[in-house]
């Protein structure tokens, strides 16, 4: 059985961005979604701001 530090259920903006941040920090992550193709249809980020999208936001 594989083990993960973080499992995102849903590959929308929140799940993907959280998984990315944790993976860059060394966590073993898994993202699962009910759709076969991620990003179609395009998901809305709604509350995302320009600040939250900057690469160095957590440094």
| pLDDT at position 16 over 60 | yes
- The string of DSSP letters for 1-59 reads ----SEEEES-SHHHHHHHHHHHHTT--EEEE-SSSSTTSSPPP-TT--HHHHSTTTT-
Using DSSP's 3-state secondary structure scheme, residue 9 falls into strand
What pLDDT sits at residue 48? 62
Domains in the chain: boundaries: 1-39
pTM comes to 0.65
In the predicted model, is pLDDT for residue 45 greater than 70?
no
pLDDT of residue 37: 80
Q: How confident is the model at residue 55 (pLDDT cuts 50, 70, 90)?
A: low
């Amino acid at each position: 059985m594989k083990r993960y530090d973080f499992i995102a259920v849903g590959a929308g903006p929140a799940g993907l961005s959280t998984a990315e941040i944790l993976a860059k920090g060394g966590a073993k992550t898994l993202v699962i979604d009910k759709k076969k193709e991620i990003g179609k249809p395009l998901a809305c980020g709604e509350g995302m701001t320009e600040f939250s999208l900057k690469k160095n936001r957590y440094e």
